[in-house]
Structure 1
Amino acid sequence: MEIKSLDIFCEIIDNFGDIGVVYRVAKEFKSIYNENIEIRVFLNRLDEFLPLNKRAKNVGYQKIDGIEYITNEYLAKNICTFSPANVIIEAFGCNILEGYLNKAKDESSLLINLEYLSGESWIEEVHLMESPIGAKKLRKYFFMPGFKENTGGVIVDKLFLNRKLEVQNNKSIYIEKYLPDLSDRDYFIGTIFSYEKNFLPLLNVLLKNGKNNCLLVLGQKSQDSIKIILEKLDFVEVSKDSYEMGNLKIKFMPFLEQEEYEELINVVDYNFVRGEDSFVRALLTGKPFMWHIYLQEEMAHMDKIDGFIERYKEVLEEFNLEIPLNIQTKLLRDYNLRDSNSLELGRENYEEFFKEFEQISQLTKAYSEYIELKCNLIDKLNRFILKY
């Protein structure tokens, strides 16, 4: 089926992950089809979108780089003037305005429920399963992102891959762009973007590793977590939002646009990230990572972590690096073993992770190549629509 027009619906709750995924999907489809497709993104609010793109405004309707961004409120007020697209993406099971959906049942062809990313094996059975909606023309299917070939995969967008290559080939330029005060020394650099967490064990390991370390802290929750530790230790504020103690420099980074964040995580040595979209970006850098998964009731998030670990090991066990693989996955599990987001000390021990850093780097590079080759969500989604 030809994709003449694409409408994407997103209901933002309390973080940047949902809009981050939707924003990326919209941009990638636009880059594939250029002027041959009309793309509209419908949002319940704009609070999280505005920081992601500095050209975005707090208005009901706007067009940026050929993509229309429309609030649900604007859609409701002007529903009589809207015709639904022939392909609709419902991100993460969000609610679509009833007036729009009633029109779509008669006028549109395909509705895709793009679900949250998961490594659990059950999603393989649900992926591309039809969900009856009682419409004569419109049909709805589940699209389940995951880490195996027979799932929906993850968003591997060419815009990101091109940006990654550009940073790799011009690292000094991007160090100067984001970290000009580090350009005169050789630093071991990592990023932290997390929910609330006690990072004292991490700082203690970095203070003893004999390297010039720099830790870039992003996001309010991460920064608030680190600030409490800085007040207890002998860190000295050397400039605005920059602190030093011994061989460790900590920098609080300003909020970055999506494209800027992608440049930053490709220029550093390792990334500790949170959520879904940032996690996939971290995987695609090929650099060592930790993933702070979104907390769920009754620790249901641990099933997702264990599912990812199983998929991760399935791919990497052939490299005969069992010790570093077990060290990384154990730390990943301990990093997330919690029933609340708090500043209590967890079980994680970072010492072995950094001792085996070079071999872990081999694993993460190999995994990024696997994801890029076998689990490209954009390609899978596009092929499914075209074959429909």
Structure 2
Amino acid sequence: MKASWDIFCCVVDNFGDIGVTWRLARQLAAEHDVAVRLWVDDLKSFERLWPAVQPSLASQRHEGVEICQWPQQWPAVQAADVVIEAFGCKLPADYRAAMAARPAPALWLNLEYLSAEGWVSGCHGLPSPQPDRLQKYFFFPGFVEKTGGLLRESGLLARRQAFQADPEARRAFLASLGVTVAPGARLVSLFAYENASLAGWFDAMAADASPTHVLVPQGRVLGDVQAWLAVDELAVGAVHRRGALTVQVVPFVRQDQYDLLLWSCDFNAVRGEDSFVRAQWAGQPLLWHIYEQEEYAHWEKLEAFLALYVEALSPAAGQALTDLWRAWNQGLAMADSWRRVLEHWPELAANARQWGEKQAAQPDLATALVQFYRNWI
């Protein structure tokens, strides 16, 4: 009999939490032969990532996963063998009671946000005793041994490498989005929160001697793009040129297509957690717009990741990339750091590929979760 898994997700900031939990649920069902229910409190946002989802349904199946509306009035359901409380969301009291009533205990995991901070490996897998005879464990994704690793489906890097080695596949995918890239132009994707640095970065690209084509999926940064272009609106498909810079708005695409978008680009600016991890698997230089937290807790996460990511780079290349990331996340001028990044482009591109290969040598997050459960029972 298949082990049953329940994953609980409260949608925060539209896409990050549901993006991670949906990828995880799909992979568990497809690769580990477990029965997965994904409880989501906002199916409208979920529908943007996976258009087949019908927000009006209390329960539906997609990709081998039972997707359930997380209602205010909790229904009587049997607790699963493994319960994942994603990103600090609180389990319903009635569900906790169902967990306590099970004849055999359930494995209760608090899936934490991704961090490269040093303390993570020491806290990964630690128990946290709870009332009513329950106990949960902290489970941390991460970039080093003694963490839970990163979400990565089987064969992902091989598929990426095959796609990137096939110019016709890239051309056809971009054409499906209405994108035609001029010969020799650098292709950049931009998925970000609102950012005061955008105007200066765009100015630098517009003034560059080499052409750049920026693809902007629908999202929060469009307001800043619109202000820089000084236009009244920006609809999907809009193309504007200023100097050496072409800016094009593309649709908000489903997750699998977003991977192809990242694989097609030479440089990817991403935000939050889900797109941040997918950009690392793209094997191209990247820029992370981290989600802001109270008391600047996000800044420590950013610096901790950078320390690992630039470790194999020359001092000059590492400093150029570090300065770019810091400027982007503080709303500062980016022209100088962007120019220095371009000077070190071959080294940064090689480092991006090597970083992905290094991370792929570790167990992926879904596999690590399944192994933790097997060791626990």
TM-score in terms of structure 2 length:
0.91
Following the alignment from structure 2 to structure 1, what is the Cα–Cα distance between the partners of residues 129 and 179?
A: 58
Q: Give the superposition deviation at 1:271.
A: 0.1
Q: Give the superposition deviation at 1:163.
A: 4.2
In the other structure, the counterpart of 1:341 is none
Following the alignment from structure 1 to structure 2, what is the Cα–Cα distance between the partners of residues 7 and 171?
A: 41
Following the alignment from structure 2 to structure 1, what is the Cα–Cα distance between the partners of residues 203 and 367?
A: 43
Structure 2 contact 236–251 (Cα < 8 Å) conserved = no
Of 88, 91, 94 in structure 2, the residue corresponding to residue 93 of structure 1 is 88
Q: Give the superposition deviation at 1:248.
A: 1.8
Of 242, 255, 258 in structure 1, the residue corresponding to residue 255 of structure 2 is 258
Following the alignment from structure 1 to structure 2, what is the Cα–Cα distance between the partners of residues 375 and 288?
A: 23
Aligned-CA RMSD value: 2.4
Instruction: Give the stretch that moved more between structures: 102-111 or 352-361.
Output: 102-111
Which of structure 1's runs of 4+ aligned residues deviate more than 4 A?
237-240, 344-348
Of 121, 135, 138 in structure 2, the residue corresponding to residue 139 of structure 1 is 135
Of 47, 57, 78 in structure 2, the residue corresponding to residue 83 of structure 1 is 78
Deviations 1:300-341 (A, max 9, x none): 211111111222244x25xxx222122112221222136xxx
In the other structure, the counterpart of 1:65 is 63
- Taking CA–CA contacts closer than 8 Å with sequence separation of 6 or more, which of the two structures ends up with the larger relative contact order? 1
Following the alignment from structure 2 to structure 1, what is the Cα–Cα distance between the partners of residues 179 and 109?
A: 47
Q: Quick check: 1:290 aligned with 2:310?
A: no
Structure 2 contact 235–249 (Cα < 8 Å) conserved = no
Following the alignment from structure 1 to structure 2, what is the Cα–Cα distance between the partners of residues 133 and 169?
A: 51
Of 112, 116, 121 in structure 2, the residue corresponding to residue 119 of structure 1 is 116
Q: Quick check: 1:280 aligned with 2:274?
A: no
Deviations 1:146-202 (A, max 9, x none): 221122222122264354234224332232232454256342100011111131222
Instruction: Give the stretch that moved more between structures: 268-277 or 104-113.
Output: 104-113
In the other structure, the counterpart of 2:301 is 304
Following the alignment from structure 2 to structure 1, what is the Cα–Cα distance between the partners of residues 54 and 250?
A: 23
Q: Give the superposition deviation at 1:128.
A: 0.4
Structure 1 contact 126–142 (Cα < 8 Å) conserved = yes
In the other structure, the counterpart of 2:361 is 373
Following the alignment from structure 1 to structure 2, what is the Cα–Cα distance between the partners of residues 241 and 176?
A: 19
SS of 2:279's equivalent in the other structure is: helix
Gapped runs of 5+ residues in structure 1? Answer: 339-343
In the other structure, the counterpart of 1:171 is 167
Equivalent AA in structure 2 for residue 65 of structure 1: E
Residues 348 and 8 (structure 1 numbering): CA distance in 2 closer, same or farther, change over 3 Å?
farther
Of 330, 334, 337 in structure 1, the residue corresponding to residue 330 of structure 2 is 337
Structure 1 contact 7–42 (Cα < 8 Å) conserved = yes
Following the alignment from structure 1 to structure 2, what is the Cα–Cα distance between the partners of residues 3 and 151?
A: 26
Structure 2 contact 115–141 (Cα < 8 Å) conserved = yes
Following the alignment from structure 2 to structure 1, what is the Cα–Cα distance between the partners of residues 335 and 350?
A: 25
Q: Give the superposition deviation at 1:254.
A: 1.0
Gapped runs of 5+ residues in structure 2? Answer: none
Greater share of residues in helix: 1
Equivalent AA in structure 2 for residue 200 of structure 1: A
TM-score in terms of structure 1 length:
0.88
Number of aligned residue pairs = 369
Of 53, 57, 62 in structure 2, the residue corresponding to residue 56 of structure 1 is 53
Residues 260 and 119 (structure 1 numbering): CA distance in 2 closer, same or farther, change over 3 Å?
same
Residues 184 and 197 (structure 1 numbering): CA distance in 2 closer, same or farther, change over 3 Å?
closer
Residues 240 and 336 (structure 1 numbering): CA distance in 2 closer, same or farther, change over 3 Å?
closer
Equivalent AA in structure 1 for residue 298 of structure 2: H
In the other structure, the counterpart of 1:383 is 371
Following the alignment from structure 1 to structure 2, what is the Cα–Cα distance between the partners of residues 384 and 259?
A: 28
